[in-house]
A and B are shown apart, each in its own frame.
Chain A
């Protein structure tokens, strides 16, 4: 009876309602007309939820390249852009990597309508406990690089997973809102890190640093490992969320917990699972960041949870649950990092950084929603046209 309002427009990664309109417009066109088919393909690209983000990122790229200024490279003597050069871009990618990886886990949590405020602390605890274990190994003269890296991976991922498991079990068994549980864990885990390290910074063994900083054939001090891991995690996360049964259940639980329970979905297991995922990704980020920076301390990753949540939200994940994409969350992390970066590149007063980031996050989300609304309107119009043409042909 009432027209479907855009507010409850359903969205899951592989079933955008636009898909319907697009498919319909494709089938409505005759197969011979290549122009129309091209239009349909273009419409499909534009109608992806992430398209707005890609647009925002491109705009920032252009602005930074155009207004970032240039400097003379002293080895080659050529004039190069302050922003659009390999070194800067790798730096952006690396800084994004740590947030983006955690945003993959956070996306899953927020899709279930939960929240995890403890990912920064999990990251920190995973980092320092790995550093301590590796330090003990070094002291015990177990210095084989393979052993160090393997134990490093197992330890950081393991601690992250265990912390996530603790979060998930607490949320499910104590039946307290995840905001409260993970807010408590934010302090508890950082407190444990503080006690373990006795407030000291602990250096990482050189073989782990070498692993994370491996140039893999790049020259000029470029370090692609964090970026590559991010890509792998993003693809893995995308696959998990949109192609597997567990991923689908995450969307179901976030969309309607009661209906999921009534459908025989093990709701509690799904909820524990997403916190484990958030912990695991925090552990991966911890392994990379401690290896990259060469040390771990109990002050690491302070406030990261807010960046990670912001990345997911900017990426289109709904805090009400049931809606969000992994790719969106990763792009959201990139947007935030680019905005931070632009303050340096554009020589803005860095004292204003927090204000600029805050305004930018709100603006990005508002723009994203505006794009959604526009696309929704287009879809409604398209459907109406299809209906009318069907009616006139009948």
Chain B
């Protein structure tokens, strides 16, 4: 069972390499944002697998924290690409 989990950890870590390549190389900003979001998801699954290996539930809070931060970051980047400014003062007048 432990070998299986370690193999899964290796596979997920390996799958992050093309995402990092896309994040560095990515021809467009939207490619980089999607790669960053996918790296966040892979990191979440990595932490989940690792918490199975070390048999603790303390990492689950970190998973939730990482998901929230990744979500907010993706929303902010998307708004930056779409509108150009992230925080607008008054949305209704425009």
Task: Judge: A and B partners, yes or no.
Answer: no
Chain B interface residues toward A at CB < 8 A: none
